[in-house]
Amino acid sequence: MTAVPGLGRPKEAGSERHGCSAGMAIFSVYVVNKAGGLIYQWDSYSPRAEAEKTFSYPLDLLLKLHDERVLVAFGQRDGIRVGHAVLAINGIDVNGKYTADGKEVLEYLGNSANYPVSIRFGRPRLTSNEKLMLASMFHSLFAIGSQLSPEQGSSGIEMLETDTFKLHCFQTLTGIKFVVLADPRQAGIDSLLRKIYEIYSDFALKNPFYSLEMPIRCELFDQNLKLALEVAEKAGTFGTGS
Partner 1 sequence: MLCWCGLRPSWTLETGSSLSPSLAAIPMTVHNLYLFDRNGVCLHYSEWHRKKQAGIPKEEEYKLMYGMLFSIRSFVSKMSPLDMKDGFLSFQTSRYKLHYYETPTGIKVVMNTDLGVGPIRDVLHHIYSALYVELVVKNPLCPMGQTVQSELFRSRLDSYVRSLPFFSARAG
If the CB atoms of residues 83 and 110 are measured against partner 1, the closer one turns out to be 83
Q: What is the DSSP letter of 36?
A: S
Angle between helix 189-200 and helix 219-236 axes, rounded to 10 deg: 170
CA distance 39 to 214: 6
Nearer to partner 1, 128 or 140 (CB): 140
Q: Could you list the residues that contact partner 1 (CB under 8 A)?
A: 27, 46, 48-49, 81, 83, 123, 126, 130, 134, 137-138, 140-141, 144-165, 167, 181
CA angle, 129 as apex, 179 and 206 as ends, to 5°? Answer: 50
Nearest to 10 by CA among 29, 24, 23, 26: 29
Neighbours of 147 (CB within 10 A): 8
Closer to partner 1 at the Cβ: 69 or 217? 69
- Compute the least distance from the CB of residue 66 to partner 1, in Å: 12
Task: Provide, rounded to whole angstroms, the least separation between the CB of residue 1 and partner 1.
Answer: 23
Burial label for 181, CB within 10 Å (0-12, 13-18, 19+), is: buried
Question: Which residue number, 145 or 215, has a Cβ lying nearer to partner 1?
Answer: 145
Q: How far is the CB of 59 from partner 1 (least distance, A)?
A: 21
- Shortest distance in whole angstroms from residue 147 CB to partner 1: 6
Q: Which of residues 196 and 218 has its CB atom nearest to partner 1 in the complex?
A: 196
**Secondary structure of 135-150 in the HEC alphabet?**
HHHHHHHHHHHHHCCC
- What's the min distance (Å) between Cβ of 46 and partner 1? 5
- Spatial separation of the C-alpha atoms in residues 18 and 194, rounded to whole Å: 25
Nearest distance in Å: CB 58, partner 1: 26
Closer residue to partner 1, CB minimum distance, 35 or 137: 137
Cis peptide before 47 (omega within 30 of 0): no
